[in-house]
Amino acid sequence: PFPHYARMREAAPVFHDEQSGSWHVFRYDDVQQVLSDHARFSSRLGGNDPSETGQLFASSLITTDPPRHRQLRSLVTQAFTPKAVDALAPRISQLTEELLDGIASRGTADLIQELAYPLPVIVISELLGIPAQDRDLFKQWSDVIVSQTRTGTTNENHYLTNKEMTEYFLDLIEQRRHQPGQDLISNLQSAEIDGQKLSVAELLGFCALLLVAGNETTTNLIGNAVLCFTEVPGTIDRLLTEQSLLPQAIEEVLRFRSPVQSMYRVTVADTTLGEVQIPAGAPLVAWIGSANRDERQFQRPTQFDIDRSQIRHLAFGHGIHFCLGAPLAKLEAKIALEATLSRLPGLTLAPGAHLERMESTIIYGLKTLPARWQTA
């Protein structure tokens, strides 16, 4: 998509697609404004997404505006602060080592399937107190959701998946009502805002968002990082000798191959963006992946450069909806990549590997990542 973005930033930075009725925003400053100016650009799905998935997410943080957004978000911020998340580091390391134990002696594996996918799913499942064996379900579900966002249509398979997801989460919520534990869902179950419990739709929204939305993205961050690191010769050697560079290199991956390429908004009233007038109620796509390569913001934007510092990318959004899971995603990526680089020496893509990207305009990542390394 990147050459297309570059052309659009130049020729039509705020573009009206008459066929779909959507407006597309490509430059860094505009994308930042659209993501953060919630008074002008609403996050509600409203009537725009009648799909079942839309309904499942309709009362979640990501589709709510203030004041409700602030109230809901305040219930979960504590669980995701960098400090709270750091406490998970030993467990994340242990899981990573176990996953690598399974493949290290093989010399070759699909790193998405064996590492980048299972790690975030297990971590979030444990945080929410979900039985480990159910995690294969989440993978199926998130794949269907991704394909749904690609086609924008709902077929029988989508319908069944969404029904299954809704029922699974309703059961889970019900279970926690009877037997509360130390997990996040139990906490949300008993939480009150102005003396009122959350609605079932809001509880469902939290489950769907936390269990599905954060997984695929973290998987892709890890996968995209391996791709970036193996693509530029010398990168892995440098990261092994200068370990303090890794957090910055991960920020550069987030900029260069952003796992979330686009987010939606709707205009609240008639408004202008740049020179362009946009009517009220217009659906808008903010192209994060384009903003992160805008030459107005970054020098040599098409170059992957682990020496780049203080990277003000928009990969986690900006403003009140800034990704709640960012500290967790970064910690998981750091632990997983550190261990991968040190335990899989001479890591490269498998020769002749066919790298197929996921078919989505929102999620950017690889379906599989066949890799090879030296064994003793």
Distance CA 332, CA 96 (A): 9
Strands 348-349 and 41-42, by their bridges, are: unpaired
CB of 258 to ligand HEM, least distance (A): 7
CB of 266 to ligand HEM, least distance (A): 11
> Residue 24 or 321: which CB sits closer to ligand HEM?
321
Residue nearest to ligand HEM (CB): 325
> Residue 306 or 324: which CB sits closer to ligand HEM?
324
> Residue 213 or 339: which CB sits closer to ligand HEM?
213
CB of 72 to ligand HEM, least distance (A): 8
Question: ∠ CA 199-202-205 to the nearest 5 degrees?
Answer: 155
> Residue 104 or 366: which CB sits closer to ligand HEM?
366
> Residue 293 or 321: which CB sits closer to ligand HEM?
321
Exposed, middle or buried, 354 (CB in 10 Å: 0-12/13-18/19+)?
A: exposed
188-217 burial by CB neighbour count: b if 16+ within 10 A, else e?
bbebeeeeeebeeebbbbbbbbbbbbbbbb
Q: CA torsion angle for 114, 367, 248, 38 (degrees, to 10)?
A: -120
CB of 354 to ligand HEM, least distance (A): 24
**Which tokens belong to 119?**
């790690």
**Helix (H) or strand (E) run with residue 89 in it:** helix 89-101
Distance CA 372, CA 236 (A): 14
For binding to ligand HEM (CB under 6 A), which residues are involved?
35, 43, 61-62, 73, 124, 209-210, 213-214, 217-218, 221, 259-260, 263, 315-317, 321, 323-325, 328-329
Residues 6+ apart with CB under 8 A from 100: 115, 339, 340, 343, 344
CB of 293 to ligand HEM, least distance (A): 15
Distance CA 221, CA 331 (A): 11
CB of 80 to ligand HEM, least distance (A): 6
> Residue 68 or 150: which CB sits closer to ligand HEM?
68
DSSP state of 11: H
Distance CA 186, CA 176 (A): 6
> Residue 124 or 347: which CB sits closer to ligand HEM?
124
CB of 17 to ligand HEM, least distance (A): 20
